[in-house]
């Protein structure tokens, strides 16, 4: 599942995010499990909550990058089989675990490259598979809107089969949770414009940085 970095911009937001972090991660993982039900590995999610409120001006990005590295090493501590790990870890599962991560909010291509290189340095058997959407391999799902394409398929089916609307010939309205601030919502807006043109009328958006409504 995707690794998400959450860095609230105020101490109040940090307190709110801290209170709901587990529920957010559980809900995202549950949704991934439903989406990936036909894949043997199933679905998962990771949320890294980062306090950037008391740091020096201009160092926020540095703290985010250091947090990615710290979390990566923590995960590798648990899954890379070494004598030191075996002596320190209580393992109730009793089997080797193989993890495949993906990038989510605030994870950069530079983070991805560092993570797979670090996995190789730490002895992870398949370092290239440790993180998806590598800039020089495969498909960058953020750049090409892969997740949003899946969302649009569900939208298209719902419009035509449930509501009886042909979105390429008839207009329809949409209200969105997520939007330009997020990769999925931002790409979905672009896909709707590309697929349906002026027939897609977005009348409301609620996103991280604010919300907007235009009934007309």
Alpha-carbon gap, residue 125 to 133, rounded angstroms:
19
Question: Is 45 one of the annotated active-site residues of the chain?
Answer: yes
Q: First CA to last CA across the chain, in angstroms?
A: 38
The three-state secondary structure class of 176 is strand
Alpha-carbon gap, residue 60 to 67, rounded angstroms:
11
Q: Which of 35, 37, 45, 83 is catalytic?
A: 45
Residue 70: how many CB atoms within 10 A of its CB? Answer: 12
Residue 150: how many CB atoms within 10 A of its CB? Answer: 14
Residue 148: how many CB atoms within 10 A of its CB? Answer: 24
The DSSP element (H or E) to which 76 belongs, if any, is helix 60-79
Q: Which residues are catalytic?
A: 45
């Amino acid at each position: 599942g995707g690794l998400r970095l959450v860095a609230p911009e105020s101490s109040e937001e940090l307190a709110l995010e801290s209170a709901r972090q587990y529920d957010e991660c559980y809900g995202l993982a549950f949704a991934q499990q439903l989406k990936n039900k036909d894949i043997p590995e199933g679905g998962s999610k990771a949320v890294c909550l980062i306090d950037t409120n008391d740091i020096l001006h201009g160092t926020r990005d540095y703290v985010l990058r250091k947090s990615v590295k710290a979390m990566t090493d923590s995960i590798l501590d648990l899954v890379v089989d070494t004598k030191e790990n075996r002596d320190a870890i209580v393992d109730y599962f009793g089997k080797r675990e193989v993890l495949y991560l993906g990038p989510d909010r605030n994870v950069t291509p530079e983070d991805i490259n560092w993570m797979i290189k670090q996995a190789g340095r730490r002895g992870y058997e398949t370092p290239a598979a440790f993180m998806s959407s590598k800039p020089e391999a495969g498909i960058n799902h953020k750049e090409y809107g892969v997740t949003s394409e899946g969302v649009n398929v569900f939208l298209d089916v719902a419009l035509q089969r449930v509501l009886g609307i042909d979105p390429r010939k008839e207009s329809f309205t949409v209200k969105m949770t997520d939007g330009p601030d997020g990769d999925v919502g931002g790409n979905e807006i672009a896909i709707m414009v590309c697929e349906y043109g002026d027939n897609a009328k977005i009348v409301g958006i609620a996103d991280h940085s604010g919300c907007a409504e235009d009934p007309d």
